[in-house]
Chain A
Amino acid sequence: MEADKAEAKAAQLGEEEVQGKETVKIYIMGKEYRVPAGLTIMKAMEYAGYRFIRGSGCRAGFCGACATIYRLEGDYKLYTALACQTSVIDGMYLAQLPFVPANKAIYDVNKVRAEGNVLMVYYPEIARCVSCNTCTKACPQEIEVMDAIQAAVKGDIVSVAELTFECIQCGLCAVRCPAEIPQYHVFQLARRLYGKYILKPAKHVEERLKEIKSGKFNEEMEKLMRTSREELRKMYESLERVED
């Protein structure tokens, strides 16, 4: 079995040691480099000698710091990607986009209400959407960005919030938008309104806060502060798991 032949190593820091000999050609901002096949764009750039100050954040697809625009040799289209979540392809022309200068509205979430045309009030530019769908094609999270903007135009906060929950705010939609809409900021406002005013508040949290305020747990808690480690161990071991 091939696995038996594989060298047993617990952890790998330097990918180059474990990669095969196969390489691909990439262009980092127009300059050609040969890098091992199978690396992510981010690791390939590091392999080539780049040390990121910008453009590297969580390195796991959650923060949107590594927005990247690329083209492939022989193709005219511009593609988008997260550098940490995309493998290099032979003939990739890469440009990092570590910052997007999009406008964010300032608002007081306690005063804004989830009604009517609130999204349009704070972001009137959404009316400029021409439904070209470029934003949707640009989204590395596969969000239906244009549909969400159209829902925003209609004042449908629920749809905007639900459609855009997985937005990591990388800004690729905004830079590709011919109407200069800062989609990801519009979505943030919609989601907060949804979370605050449309989702029902949890009554049990309210109840529990009253109990805590009334001092219901104080006595037991104070007793725990004076309980020895040995005694705590016993209490822990006898704690029944509350099964469903």
Chain B
Amino acid sequence: MSSLKMIEGYPEYMRKSIELVERTRPRRMREVYRRLSLEEREELLRKYHPDYKPGTKRPLRIGPNRGDEAPHELADLLEAHPLVKPIDVDLSKIDIDTDLLIIGGGGAGLVAALWANQEGLPPDRITIVTKLRLGDSNSVMSQGGVQAADRPPDSPVRHFLDVMGGGHFANKPELVKALTMDAPLMIKWLEELGLMFDKDEEGNMVEDWGGGTSIRRMHACKDYTGMEIVRVLRDEVRNREINVVEFTSAVELIKDDLGHVAGAVLVNMESEQYMVARAKATILATGGYGRLHIQGFPTTNHYGATADGLVLAYHVGARLTDIETAQYHPTGAAYPEQIVGLLITEKVRGLGAQVVNKHGEQFVFPLEPRDVEASAFIRECWERNNGVITPTGMRGVWLDSPMIEIIRGEGTIQRRLPAMYRMYKRFGIDMAKDPILVFPTLHYQNGGVAINDRGQTDIPGLFAAGEVEGGVHGKNRLMGNSILDYLVFGRRAGINAARYVKKANLGRLTLNHVDEYEKMLREAGIETDRKAPMILPDYRGKEVLARKIDIFK
């Protein structure tokens, strides 16, 4: 690698392709690539989308989704031994006794806590538990924006149709109705909390395009939208003095003898001591599964995105939905190596950057829904061999970011995409002058725990909000609907859990469902050493692990 001659962040050989991108740019500025019909989209997906690749999934052998396909990496966790042995846990000693336990401290957890409080639950009767720091989540990393149909000629009805089309009409209509009808309310709520939305001088929202939307409705805070939302929500949770337990992971849900979910077994991440948390209602807000690296893909996701919520829910018998589809964000960084897989916001395309191959030619409309766009990239790189190959062997296509400066004026990138600009600058690339290389990266868990429009799962006492739940996005989520999802369903779960708490009476605590799960594994003939939930991925060097002696056990 070190022998390559580098010119302003790129090896000399990649510069040759960049010259072609520059040469075709004046002509392309006038070209609009044709959008695909639904039939053409479907064919592209079938041939090139990773979800359709044979051998990457298997039918689950146990549980409420028995027979449904799941990616191997997720199936491995659902068909693993529960981490906790009931015999090791003393349920008679309650360490945390609370009304509402919220598992997860990202967007959904924060929103749920605030609305549960708004609904009348006192802050000291709400407990947020998170295995990392409060706010550490995918939510904090979302860049591009949040959708809301909040001005004519847009309407919730149009938003509804865009969501359904993006999700291949597999979405649950009542959830999409909630998502789109509540959206303007959530924007207003954030405004009142003091969010710094991008606005014009009159206070009108600046709204941009997103992939698969039929109108501009993307609200943003530059390209730090998620970071700005999470830091405001976190500040508000702290101002209201809601209980927060950090660096503590939920490893199993607890039920009562009436079949309600009644809290969770928690483990201190540092001391590894367990705690029993009893709660009248529990909200799963644990996020998604990017760190499972489905099919070996790199991911945009944060360190804790390990599907814990799906595992916990499945152990108590909650049904999952649409788990066979994963979202691969079309524009993950493909170069330089230090940032491979990290998110390049869709807003780069929303602001006018085209996608071009190594010859500098367009091959897809830049704002197709994400699954379609990603499939076109994969075809261009691996079927047509028109990708640029990096020094580490990755393939990618160009995102022609300098177009943004030409269309919208010099300085636009620094003003509207400061996070992207900064990240590339840190590694020696000026994306206002040079295009950047991208390839699909694992981004989002489209499906998850099945809920109704009040955020309830199939199991009484258990609610779910945010990426951990499924049904809202069908088989593919559109840009700007993940923030909206955790806002809308975080609020609904928080309010409805607070109402549920008022009527709930808990019976005797039990972990019998864990024994039953073990029995199911046995009866299905599943023999494995694996345990779940995973809690954190393990990236330690292989050479170290090969010579490791565990001196404390």
| Residues of A that sit less than 8 Å from B by CB | 1-4, 6-16, 18-20, 22, 37-40, 43, 46-54, 56-63, 65, 85-87, 104, 106-109, 141-142, 161, 165-166, 168-169, 188, 191-197, 199-209, 212, 217, 220-221, 224-225, 229, 232-233, 235-237, 239-242, 244
Contact = CB atoms under 8 A, between A and B. Distances in A.
Interface stretch (B55-63, B196-204, B459-467, B525-533): B196-204
Given A46-B540, A63-B302, A202-B204, A12 B151 contact: no
A56 B247 CA distance: 12
Contacts of A6: 389-393
Interface residues of B, number: 112
B160 A221 contact: yes
A201 B190 CA distance: 11
Contacts of B227: 62-63, 168
6 contacts: A16-B542, A49-B545, A192-B235, A203-B204, A204-B151, A205-B191
Contact of A195 (B136, B195, B224, B337): B195
Interface in B329-375: 337-343
B174 A225 contact: yes
Given A12-B394, A191-B196, A56 B419 contact: no
B270 A106 contact: no
A202 B342 contact: no
Contacts of A39: 338
A242 B300 CA distance: 31
B508 interface: no
A169 B197 CA distance: 19
A232 B338 contact: no
B94 interface: no
Contact of B150 (A11, A57, A204): A204
B426 interface: yes
Nearest to B188: A205
Given A46-B539, A57-B133, A192-B194, A209 B188 contact: yes
Contact of B270 (A53, A109, A193, A236): A53
Nearest to A194: B196
Interface in B204-251: 204-205, 214-216, 221-222, 224, 226-228, 231-232, 235-236, 238-239, 241, 247
Residue in A15, A46, A212 whose Cβ sees the most chain B Cβ within 10 Å = A212
B54 interface: no
B199 A202 contact: yes
Given A12-B392, A39-B338, A225-B174, A236 B164 contact: yes
Contact of B205 (A37, A62, A106, A205): A205
A62 B154 contact: no
B541 A199 contact: no
Interface in B159-190: 160-162, 164-165, 169, 173-174, 177, 181, 184-185, 187-188
Contact of B184 (A51, A205, A224, A237): A205
Nearest to A3: B389
Contact of A242 (B154, B296, B342): B154
The interface centre, meaning the residue of B184, B238, B293, B545 with most chain A CB atoms within 10 A of its CB, is B184
Contacts of B140: 57-58, 62-63
Contacts of A50: 540
A15 B204 contact: no
A52 B269 CA distance: 10
Interface in B369-426: 382, 388-395, 418-419, 422-423, 426
A221 B238 contact: no
Contact of B238 (A63, A106, A165, A168): A106
B87 interface: no
B288 interface: no
A207 B149 CA distance: 12
B2 A20 contact: yes
The 7 closest A-B CB pairs, nearest first, are A200-B203, A192-B194, A196-B194, A49-B544, A195-B194, A204-B151, A236-B165
Contact of A244 (B216, B269, B543): B216
Most buried by A among B149, B231, B296: B231
A104 B238 CA distance: 9
Contact of B141 (A46, A60, A225): A60
